[in-house]
Amino acid sequence: MTLHNYLKRSDAMSLTQLANEMGVSKSRLSQLRNSTEWPAELALTAESKTGGALNASHLCSIVAKARQTGVAV
């Protein structure tokens, strides 16, 4: 799921709330809104802050590969 799709959910945090929770600017999240290639650290943080609604493996190929191979990220 992209950030754009997550934000459409009725139970989703707003972009501003999520940015605050993640410790990044709203504009940075806006840049990533439709992206499926996030920096690994941000993808993992987004997954954590959304309770898994945003899956880091779907946001970042590095995380996906690490999880498939069992390598820690």
CA distance between the termini of the chain: 20
Rounded-to-integer distance, Cα 32 and Cα 73, Å: 20
The structure's pTM equals 0.90
What whole-number percentage of the chain has pLDDT above 90? 92
**Overall domain count for the chain:** 1
- Residue ranges making up the domain that contains 49: 3-69
- Per-residue pLDDT at 4: 96
Q: How many CB atoms lie within 10 A of CB 5?
A: 13
8 Å CB contact between 44 and 56: yes
Rounded-to-integer distance, Cα 29 and Cα 61, Å: 18
